[in-house]
Amino acid sequence: MLGISGVFEYMTDNLRLLLEKIDFEVANKICEIRIRRNQPLILVIRNTSYFLDESGDVYDCPAHNIVYVDSDEFDKLFLRLCDYSLYSNSENLKNGFITLSNGARVGVSASAVYDNGKMISVKDITSLNIRIPRESVNCSSGVLNFLYTNAFPSIIVAGRANSGKTTLLRDISRGLSSGFNNRYVKVAIIDERNEFAAKHGTENNMNVGINTDVLTSFSKSTGIDIATRVLSPELIVCDEISTDAEVESIIQSFSSGIKFALSVHCADYNDLINKSIIKKLLFTKEFSYIILLDNYTYKPEIIDATEVYGEIFGTYGNCFVNNRFGHLNF
């Protein structure tokens, strides 16, 4: 089950009963549940932190009877989120997260354990950040109609955390591989943290399209290389590009004629033109558009990549696209 109700299933009995008291409309706006050992439970709604009291009401400052999570309750919750198997989650925990079977990602704050200079595990878990996964079918319809009706561009989706980057990319994959414009595009998703497909065993819990292959838990650079060699995709989808190795794998795939739809973390347009990873991606001259997402409206702002290229490098050089649309909102 997706959304906030799906996350309730993983909570301890005590916490689930408290969370189920929250007003339905308020609960459906929750983006994160932040739980710290011996500290108040915090709900994040539209990038604002709220406190929960024992009656299910939320406040923007601590109230008299706000909910605290003691150490015993915290440990019970952590084991439940790990499905009572720390071993099966050990690799993800070393990378600071675990992924639930419904696609929810849980950020984990802990102390690293090293042996001969190599990180081997974590200990002393102190906080958990549960991000609520949501599937929004057809949320990409405006983007698909504008960008993909008469062309097949490579795009970058940029935005802050919780701005909807993964949700938008997932729906783009679903649409393009499921017959948009009477074409069934071969899509490969590199799902490093299992957030796109929410794969549980052999089943995908989220709709990523009928002509989509999913590589789960591979690093992005490795997954891109594998998809390029053996899956013959027309489009590769991946999120949160941040390293030189990932950019190099993308460049190699471009040489095979593959297109990309990917995301990067970005606060706003000013951050966009100053971010080094954006510079490296645009320098390939393979990307046609950047879709900038707003945290509060979740509306995509489509920007011609030549505009950003010009801001960064001072010239449009060889334009990636014939027409310069600049900013366009849906």
One-character DSSP codes across 111-130: EEEEETTEEEEEEEEEEEEE
What's this model's pTM, rounded to 2 decimal places?
0.85
* Distance of alpha carbon 108 from alpha carbon 34, whole angstroms: 10
| E runs forming strands in the chain | 30-36, 39-40, 42-45, 48-52, 58-59, 68-69, 97-99, 105-115, 118-131, 154-159, 187-191, 199-200, 203-204, 212-216, 235-238, 259-265, 287-293, 300-304, 327-329
* Distance of alpha carbon 153 from alpha carbon 216, whole angstroms: 25
205 pLDDT band (50/70/90 cuts)? confident
pLDDT tens by residue, 255-285: 999 999 999 999 999 999 999 999 999 999 9
Query: DSSP code of 187?
Result: E
- Averaged pLDDT for residues 58-81: 95
CA distances from 135 to 117, 206, 255 (A): 41, 7, 33
- Averaged pLDDT for residues 133-142: 90
- Averaged pLDDT for residues 60-66: 89
Of residues 8 and 51, more confidence is placed in: 51
What number of other Cβ atoms are within 10 A of residue 207's Cβ?
Answer: 15
pLDDT for residue 134:
82
pLDDT for residue 315:
59
- Say how many residues make up the chain: 330
CA distances from 313 to 12, 148, 156, 305 (A): 53, 27, 18, 12
pLDDT for residue 145:
96
Q: Pick the closest to residue 143 from 307, 291, 254, 315 (CA basis).
A: 291
pLDDT tens by residue, 94-127: 999 998 877 788 999 999 999 999 999 999 999 9
Is the pLDDT score of 68 beyond 80?
Answer: yes
pLDDT for residue 326:
46
What are the contacts of 323-328 at 24+ separation with CB within 8 A? 327/301, 327/302, 327/303, 328/146, 328/301, 328/302, 328/303
* Distance of alpha carbon 259 from alpha carbon 254, whole angstroms: 7
pLDDT tens by residue, 206-243: 999 999 999 998 999 999 999 999 999 999 999 999 99
Is the pLDDT score of 298 beyond 80?
Answer: no
* Distance of alpha carbon 284 from alpha carbon 249, whole angstroms: 12
What are the percentages of helix, strand and coil residues in the chain, rounded to 5? 30, 30, 40
Is the pLDDT score of 129 beyond 80?
Answer: yes
Domains defined for the chain, CATH in brackets: 3-131 (3.30.450), 141-329 (3.40.50.300)
| 149 token code pair | 């009706």
pLDDT for residue 234:
98
The angle that helices 220-230 and 244-254 make with each other, rounded to 10 degrees, is 10
314 pLDDT band (50/70/90 cuts)? confident
